[in-house]
């Protein structure tokens, strides 16, 4: 709605800032703030206003903050922090902030951006959505069934099983990308082109000859 009804870029950023405070006022969960951070970063990136300032440090801090599990603050004595800023609180603000820092670091760090341009990484990026969709059902069914049959497992067996699961997930993610994700994107793109053409014809004034 913001992008559809607000024409100017400055007003778009202001609208997302207002949305940030609206979501903050609404209360937890705060993970929807990640959409606001991403939109604001995209606006700055598009208009060449995103400046580089210690992106590698931002990436490291984001990975550290985002990797803390539930109960981290209680276990390590960070209970004195406001709840909204406690690491490990799943519905707090730390995870959206961590995600924004990781995204900023990936965008602005030259070594990281070069790494993401490597062919294997581009391939993983291409199949990431399909892999994301398929790996959890595989994990909760096939992998768990095999784990129950083989339990207890030695570290070597566990490592080999993890490697097999990773290869299996990537393979299924690639098939999911070819069979579902990319055809769906092409279909949506064709609908978008048709709708834009129809809107253009509808709004075109008749010419007088």
pLDDT tens-digit series, residues 117-150 = 899 999 999 999 999 888 888 888 888 888 888 8
Answer with the residue of higher pLDDT: 164 or 207.
164
The DSSP letter of residue 85 is G
Find how far residue 170's CA is from the centre of its chain.
Answer: 18
First to last CA, the chain: 39
Residue 71 has pLDDT above 60, yes or no: yes
- Residue 120 pLDDT: 92
Q: Delimit the domains of the chain by residue range.
A: 1-117, 118-209
Residue 66 has pLDDT above 60, yes or no: yes
Give the list of residues 6+ apart from residue 88 with CB closer than 8 angstroms, or none: 68, 69, 70, 71, 72, 73, 74, 94
pLDDT tens-digit series, residues 4-45 = 677 666 677 778 778 888 888 888 888 888 888 888 888 888
- Distance between CA 180 and CA 171 in Å, rounded? 14
Place of tokens 């581009």: 122
Residue 154 has pLDDT above 80, yes or no: yes
Q: Report the percentage of the chain scoring pLDDT > 90.
A: 15
Residue 197 has pLDDT above 80, yes or no: no
- Residue 124 pLDDT: 92
pLDDT tens-digit series, residues 88-118 = 888 888 889 899 999 898 888 888 888 888 9
Helical segments of the chain, H only: 2-5, 9-26, 33-46, 55-66, 72-76, 94-108, 110-116, 119-138, 144-150, 155-176, 182-203
What is the per-residue burial (b if ≥16 Cβ within 10 Å, else e) of 130-169?
bbeebbeebeeeebeeebeeeeeeeeeeeeeeeeebeebb
Nearest to residue 13, comparing CAs of 50, 43, 37?
43
Residue 179 has pLDDT above 80, yes or no: yes
- Residue 11 pLDDT: 74
């Amino acid at each position: 709605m913001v992008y559809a009804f607000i024409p100017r870029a400055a007003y778009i950023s202001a609208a997302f800032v207002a949305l940030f405070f609206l979501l903050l006022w609404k209360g937890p969960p705060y993970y929807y703030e990640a959409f606001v951070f991403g939109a604001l970063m995209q606006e700055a990136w598009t208009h060449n206003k995103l400046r580089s300032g210690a992106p590698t440090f931002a990436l490291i801090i984001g990975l550290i903050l985002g990797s803390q599990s539930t109960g981290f603050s209680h276990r390590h004595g960070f209970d004195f922090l406001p709840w909204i800023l406690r690491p490990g609180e799943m519905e707090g603000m730390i995870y959206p902030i961590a995600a924004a820092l990781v995204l900023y670091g990936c965008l602005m760090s030259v070594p990281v951006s070069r790494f993401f341009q490597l062919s294997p990484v581009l391939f993983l990026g291409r199949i990431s959505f399909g892999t994301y969709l398929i790996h959890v059902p595989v994990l909760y069914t096939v992998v768990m069934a095999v784990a129950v049959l083989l339990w207890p497992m030695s570290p070597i067996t566990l490592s080999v099983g993890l490697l097999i699961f990773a290869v299996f997930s990537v393979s299924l993610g690639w098939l999911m990308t070819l069979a579902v994700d990319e055809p769906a994107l092409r279909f949506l793109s064709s609908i978008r082109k048709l709708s834009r053409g129809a809107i253009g014809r509808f709004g075109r004034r008749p010419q007088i000859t």
